[in-house]
Chains A and B, each alone.
Chain A
Amino acid sequence: MNWNVLRLLYIHEMKMLVRGRRTVVMALVLPAVIMPLMLYAQKYSVNRRERLLAGTTYRYAVTGPQADRLRILIHQTQQNLDGIPDAEVEKLRQFKLVEVRVPNPTESLKRGEIEFYLETMTGADTDKLPKETAQRRPNLFRNSTAPGRLPGVPLVNIVYSEDRDASDNGHDRVMALLRLARQRDSQLALVDHGFPGDPKELFLSDDINIATRSQVTGSMVGRLITLFLVMMMFTGGAVASMDIISGEKERGTLETLLTTAAGRSEIVVAKQLAITSVGLVITLIQGLNFLLYIKLKVISLPKDFDLQLPTGMAMTLLLLFIPLAATIASVLLMISAYAKSYKESQMYFFPVYLLSLIPSLASLMPGLSLRSAIAFVPLANVSVAAHEIMVGRPDAPMIAVTFAVMTCTAAYLMRASARMLTREELIIPAHFEAAEFLGGPALFQKRVLRWFALMWVVTFAVATNVPALATLRRQLIFNEIFVMFGAVVLMIGIYRLNVKEVLSLKPVKPAVWLAILFSIPSGYLTAIGVFRIVNVFIPAPQQLLERFSAEIIPKGMPTWELLLYISVLPAICEELAFRGILLSGLRRKLPPVALVIGIGLIFGLFHVTLYRIAPTAALGMILTVIAIMTGSVFPGMLLHAGNNALGVVAGDWFRPDILLWTHYAAAAAIFALSLWIIYRNRTPLLLR
């Protein structure tokens, strides 16, 4: 890395950004101006509405046989507004009511002559109402402690029109007033009937909170701070990033820059630093904006808000937020490098932004600790770590892991961006995409990932929203036959694919079969050993694991049926889908290592439960390696079926308490030997 060149490029990038009117207006001026304008406008309109509604005299009518009693109740309650919270009292004190005598209250309400009317009914009349109506109509009893309306209890209906502000507001206030009136009425009734003592003071309740105010505040702020930063960095850095590579491609200056003596890595690092700088400056501006509004009381803080940020805590947070900012800048840079134009870059930004917000919400998930697999999930780990730091319970080793994961992620993304600048189709925009016109296998390679995204969405949308498919049997039939196998058949049909070629339906050498047979128990045992080692560092909650295995292997199902649904069916359908059609679609697009990792991860994501993603992704990677080495989908099918079958039947054979480390070591050696045999007898799949 030539630091002089890097410095020169960084200054150059910043100069270009600052001189770009579009960039300055969109990235700096608009966010700085719009936020206060929006807040002031909102505060102004809320205040004005409050004042307007407070100054309104609400016209209403009362009908029915209990009208007089209700008038007296309302009057008496208005005269004596004690025993309710202060804010409510103030609102009710300002509540000005005037009764209007109208012949037809419903018509008057429709014409806006009154804001609402109160319709009273005697208990006997209410009893005659259809049951459903009687239960639905009396909103007044909504907060009653009684489970339902008792016979003989009269009814007061507030008839109003929610689409009109004054009517809606009047309804809220009169409802509060009537609730108070009812409470007083019940208390009087209790005392009249000889209830000893004050009915309001049956017992005292109090609470003692051992968390300090600063811990409570830290918990609240810690849950949201990462989300806030991610949002600010993304929106702030987006305009700069789009201009910085996509804009350069559009203007033709990228090619000029690439022919200079500056290296690709220097160019990418300078651009990344520029995006990070702009993102941080905008985040700082927005942060100061918020502080200013809090000071000016435009934004009101919760009662007991007490944010303590000692130097150590602030430095630890900074340690995590720097790689976080670098990662976001790298993501933005990748979007910009991948897009062929400014417009295309804008198109990619929004989905990536939304996807990035999901891991940032990890700290909102109850019970999630950094000492778990979450430490290895970029963004989510910072979110959880920030929360733990801000409540004063930092986990130093896991914070170090988080820092390392984030730094590696940022570095990997930067490297990927630099590589993109060597790809002809990304540097020099093509005029048209031939595949779009030709369709067939060429288009299949472009669309295969979209198909899998759709399959993923369908699988989980159905699993979470269709109760009829909640049982294991139905869910597996739906996922494996309809989603996996169905999608494979559809893709083959739509893109006119050669079935044998695209699904790698090819025989393999006998030695491979033998190696696979050895690899089934040895691989299974090795996986248990690896899990035990990982569990030492990142312990998985035992209860959770037991619950998962109970969910996966339901009780009472015959073994043959379990083997059919858990072993045979997934092995056939998933191998055809992942190691067949997906591998075939991606093999020319990705280098072998990326192919193995990518297909493994996609396979893992289809087993969405957090503790299943990593092991299934690892299994997916091994199956992909075998499919690439053998050029066939069949050996993977056998290994997949065997592995799942052992999961069903071998629970008692491989109990951790009877296994020694020597067993695991022997199993790992046999597994490695099996893979070596497969490698020696390889008939590889044709890749790029």
Chain B
Amino acid sequence: MNEPVVVRNLRKTFYDEGRGEIKAVDAVNFDCREGEIFGLLGANGAGKTTTLRMLSTILTPTSGTATIMGHDVVSSPQGVRKNLGFYSATTALYPRLTTRETIDFFARINQYPADLVPERVEHLINRFGLTKYADARIEKLSSGMKQKVSIARTIAHNPSILIFDEPTVGLDVLNALDVQESISELRSEGKTIIFSTHIMSEAERLCDRIAIIHAGQILACDTLAGLRQSTQQHYLEDIFVLYVKAGQATI
């Protein structure tokens, strides 16, 4: 139980007045190892985002447990968030802040040591090549620049765990590659990363281990080589389809 991220029997049930009870996440189990990129691969509506929102404490689980660096998502949400950087296509930036103010705000709000904040802000501005835009308001930046600032604010407090929820959705190829490159760099710095996507090539290229999620359940979880071996398929797309069809038959 010393893994940085431990998820056990995690469930999230919504009550929808029209559709009744919906099991968005249904008894999910997985661990993430230190310094790896753990991929959550699933189609839209599979339960990826709900799982990650529970891990980032935005949503409260219906049952089950999840811990981030030993902090329980229900009993110690602030401890979880201090150790976590959460990035998704829906987490926007404050348009009325400048780049520098944005990184500064997120470093301080996540309780990064106050005396080290200015140094950290300058380091991130240089690292992402944002020097020219440091004092420009976010609303004036291009979408590529905004992506860079978003990643900078995600790691502003130097967290050990990073969650990237479909980070390349809506980006052009070059910007998507930039994001992937940044995620690779963060792994080489020893960060533990949970990466969710529905794009097979991204999962193949980035993830050390991949969990295939469908209808709120994890159908398989292994390295790419392990998945290939168990299914006797080469392409991740074929592996995914095989598991989903088998899963549908079971569900």
Cβ of A588: which chain B residues have Cβ within 8 Å of it? 15
Q: Which of A252, A437, A438 has the most CB of B within 10 A?
A: A252
Q: How many Å from the CB of A28 to the closest CB on chain B?
A: 16
Report if B173 contacts A (CB, 8 A). Answer: no
Mind listing 29 A-B residue pairs with CB under 8 Å?
A: A2-B111, A9-B109, A12-B109, A15-B96, A19-B96, A20-B96, A255-B58, A255-B92, A256-B93, A256-B153, A258-B57, A259-B56, A259-B57, A259-B81, A259-B84, A259-B86, A260-B81, A260-B106, A260-B110, A261-B78, A261-B110, A261-B157, A263-B77, A263-B78, A427-B58, A433-B17, A434-B16, A435-B17, A442-B17
Report if B94 contacts A (CB, 8 A). Answer: yes
CA gap between A8 and B108 in the complex, in Å: 8
Cβ of B90: which chain A residues have Cβ within 8 Å of it? 252, 255, 428
Q: From B20, which residue of chain A is reached at the shortest CB distance?
A: A442
Number of interface residues of A (CB under 8 A): 35
Q: How many Å from the CB of B119 to the closest CB on chain A?
A: 18
CA gap between A688 and B13 in the complex, in Å: 12
CA gap between A17 and B197 in the complex, in Å: 36
Cβ of A428: which chain B residues have Cβ within 8 Å of it? 90
CA gap between A9 and B106 in the complex, in Å: 11
Contact assessment for B105 and A434 in the assembled complex, using a CB-CB cutoff below 8 Å: no
Report if B30 contacts A (CB, 8 A). Answer: no
Q: Which 6 A-B pairs have the closest CB atoms?
A: A434-B18, A252-B92, A259-B86, A19-B96, A256-B91, A435-B17
A residues engaging B (CB < 8 A)?
Answer: 2, 5, 8-9, 12, 15-16, 19-20, 251-253, 255-256, 258-263, 422, 424, 427-428, 433-435, 437-438, 442-443, 445-446, 588, 688
Query: Which residues of B19-36 are within 8 A (CB) of A?
Result: 19
Contact assessment for A8 and B93 in the assembled complex, using a CB-CB cutoff below 8 Å: no
Report if B14 contacts A (CB, 8 A). Answer: yes
CA gap between A262 and B57 in the complex, in Å: 12
B residues engaging A (CB < 8 A)?
Answer: 14-19, 56-60, 77-78, 81-82, 84, 86, 88, 90-97, 105-106, 108-111, 153, 157
CA gap between A80 and B92 in the complex, in Å: 81
Contact assessment for A16 and B94 in the assembled complex, using a CB-CB cutoff below 8 Å: yes
Cβ of B111: which chain A residues have Cβ within 8 Å of it? 2, 5, 261
Q: B109's contact among A16, A261, A427, by CB below 8 Å, is which?
A: A261
Contact assessment for A253 and B106 in the assembled complex, using a CB-CB cutoff below 8 Å: no
Contact assessment for B108 and A438 in the assembled complex, using a CB-CB cutoff below 8 Å: no
Say yes or no: A258-B78 contact (C-beta < 8 A), given A8-B108, A12-B105, A588-B15.
no
CA gap between A256 and B106 in the complex, in Å: 10
Contact assessment for B14 and A253 in the assembled complex, using a CB-CB cutoff below 8 Å: no
Q: Which of A261, A424, A427, A433 has the most CB of B within 10 A?
A: A261
Cβ of A263: which chain B residues have Cβ within 8 Å of it? 77-78
Given contacts A5-B109, A253-B92, A422-B60, 19 further A-B contacts (CB under 8 A): A2-B111, A8-B109, A15-B97, A251-B94, A253-B91, A253-B93, A255-B88, A256-B86, A259-B57, A260-B110, A261-B82, A261-B110, A262-B109, A428-B90, A434-B16, A434-B19, A435-B17, A435-B18, A446-B17
Q: How many A-B residue pairs have CB under 8 A?
A: 82
Contact assessment for B18 and A252 in the assembled complex, using a CB-CB cutoff below 8 Å: no
Q: B81's contact among A261, A445, A446, by CB below 8 Å, is which?
A: A261
Contact assessment for A16 and B18 in the assembled complex, using a CB-CB cutoff below 8 Å: no
Q: From B86, which residue of chain A is reached at the shortest CB distance?
A: A259
CA gap between A258 and B80 in the complex, in Å: 12
Cβ of B59: which chain A residues have Cβ within 8 Å of it? 422, 424
Contact assessment for B109 and A260 in the assembled complex, using a CB-CB cutoff below 8 Å: yes
Cβ of A443: which chain B residues have Cβ within 8 Å of it? 17
Cβ of A262: which chain B residues have Cβ within 8 Å of it? 109
Cβ of A442: which chain B residues have Cβ within 8 Å of it? 17-18
Cβ of B78: which chain A residues have Cβ within 8 Å of it? 261, 263
Contact assessment for B96 and A255 in the assembled complex, using a CB-CB cutoff below 8 Å: no
Q: From A440, which residue of chain B is reached at the shortest CB distance?
A: B18
Q: From B108, which residue of chain A is reached at the shortest CB distance?
A: A8
CA gap between A255 and B53 in the complex, in Å: 10
Contact assessment for A256 and B92 in the assembled complex, using a CB-CB cutoff below 8 Å: yes
Q: How many Å from the CB of B182 to the closest CB on chain A?
A: 18
Q: How many Å from the CB of A421 to the closest CB on chain B?
A: 9
Cβ of A15: which chain B residues have Cβ within 8 Å of it? 96-97
CA gap between A260 and B60 in the complex, in Å: 15
Contact assessment for B15 and A438 in the assembled complex, using a CB-CB cutoff below 8 Å: no
CA gap between A19 and B95 in the complex, in Å: 10
CA gap between A648 and B91 in the complex, in Å: 63
CA gap between A118 and B109 in the complex, in Å: 81
Contact assessment for B95 and A445 in the assembled complex, using a CB-CB cutoff below 8 Å: no
Q: How many Å from the CB of A426 to the closest CB on chain B?
A: 12
Q: How many Å from the CB of B45 to the closest CB on chain A?
A: 12
Q: Which of B92, B109, B111 has the most CB of A within 10 A?
A: B109
CA gap between A5 and B78 in the complex, in Å: 12
Q: How many Å from the CB of A14 to the closest CB on chain B?
A: 12
Say yes or no: A251-B95 contact (C-beta < 8 A), given A9-B109, A260-B109, A424-B14.
yes
